[in-house]
Amino acid sequence: MNKLIYNYIKENRSRILDTWIQNMRNKADERLIKGVSTEVFESTSDEFVEMIISRLTEKEEEFLSLLTDFAEKVVRLGWPLVFVNEGLKEFEKIVYGGLVDQGLVNQDKLLEVVGDLDSFMTPMQNEVVNMYSQIWEKTVSLQKIALQELSAPLIPVLDRITVMPLVGTIDTERAKQIMENLLNGVVNHRSEVVLIDITGVPVVDTMVAHHIIQAAEAVRLVGAHCMLCGIRPEIAQTIVNLGINLNEITTKNSLQKGIEAALEITSRQIVEMEEVE
């Protein structure tokens, strides 16, 4: 590392920090400032510059752990990657400007200094981008897992009758998961009738309907009946308006009606007991 740069940053640390915060404040868009109080902005900025400087003073591992902490923090605060990246560039600019202004660099050394500064900053930039994308990937995969856990359970309600309530949006991935659960459940519980309740499904478009039809067809193949319950008026409207043919599937407007029909299929009925004295 170039001694010159190192010393300069060390000596002018507070001045660099002030300029940096000033400049960044001008750059930050409103959304960013609004959501974050001045103190937090300043302390975070302080931490940011601190982190950059730690690259000079600390060992590699310590710097990396600082960087990780910092990246996690700014992601939580919602600082866009562009802004952080800009911050790094700004820092480089300030240091370079300062070096030139103070006459610490002459023409001959200029290229060398620029090169050194660059090789100091670039890995850091890469690391920041890397950190960000890692954190994003982690979030996405966590969300995926969370979504899978949300995936439809199969509930045996009566002998040979099971219910699968569907909640939330259904995409292809989830539809596959649901189909698997559904069929395995039917076979394991030895159900004769499965009721799929879609009260909790916000939108039924062609694709969702397609998945439901496929599931019903698959249920038939393993040897059970499939019934669709909980069709709200707006869902019925969209289904017909989209020209989706659900004629092959028995549909009921409520789970209750569905269970009644299921009992009928399995040749049973609920009888009211006479009151015993």
Partner 1 sequence: MRIPILKLYDCLLVSIQWELDDATALQFQEDLLHKIHQTSANGVVIDITSIDFIDSFIAKVLGDVVSMSKLMGAKVVITGIQPAVAITLIELGIVLDDVLTALDLEKGLEKLQQELGD
Question: In 3-state terms, what secondary structure has residue 12?
Answer: coil
Indicate the residue among 173 and 217 with the shorter CB distance to partner 1: 217
Indicate the residue among 43 and 184 with the shorter CB distance to partner 1: 184
Q: How far is the CB of 186 from partner 1 (least distance, A)?
A: 8
Q: How far is the CB of 224 from partner 1 (least distance, A)?
A: 6
Give 28-92 as a DSSP string. Answer: S-HHHHHHS-HHHHHHHHHHHHHHHHHHHHS-HHHHHHHHHHHHHHHHHHT--HHHHHHHHHHHH
Number of residues that bind partner 1 (CB under 8 A): 18
Torsion angle defined by CA atoms of residues 132, 136, 139 and 144, in that order, rounded to the nearest 10 degrees: -160
Q: How far is the CB of 185 from partner 1 (least distance, A)?
A: 9
Among 170, 224, 229, 231, binds partner 1 (CB under 8 A): 224
- What residues numbered 202-221 form the site for partner 1, per CB under 8 A? 214, 217-221
Single out the residue of 42, 51, 6 nearest to residue 24, CA to CA: 42
Query: Which two tokens mark 43?
Result: 């302390």
Give 222-249 as a DSSP string. Answer: HT-EEEEE---HHHHHHHHHTT---TTS
Indicate the residue among 67 and 186 with the shorter CB distance to partner 1: 186
Tell me how far CA of residue 78 lies from CA of 33, 35, 111, 126, 136, in angstroms. 11, 9, 37, 19, 12
- Alpha-carbon span 197 to 199, nearest angstrom: 6
Among 13, 144, 190, 268, binds partner 1 (CB under 8 A): 190
Indicate the residue among 115 and 223 with the shorter CB distance to partner 1: 223
Single out the residue of 127, 111, 157, 112 nearest to residue 54, CA to CA: 127
Q: 151-180 mask for partner 1 (x: CB under 8 A)?
A: -------------------------x--xx
Q: How far is the CB of 187 from partner 1 (least distance, A)?
A: 6
Q: How far is the CB of 158 from partner 1 (least distance, A)?
A: 16
Tell me how far CA of residue 171 lies from CA of 78, 167, 208, in angstroms. 28, 12, 7
* Binding of residue 186 to partner 1 (CB under 8 A): yes
- Alpha-carbon span 171 to 167, nearest angstrom: 12
Q: How far is the CB of 215 from partner 1 (least distance, A)?
A: 8
Binding site for partner 1 (CB under 8 A): 176, 179-180, 183-184, 186-187, 190, 192, 214, 217-224
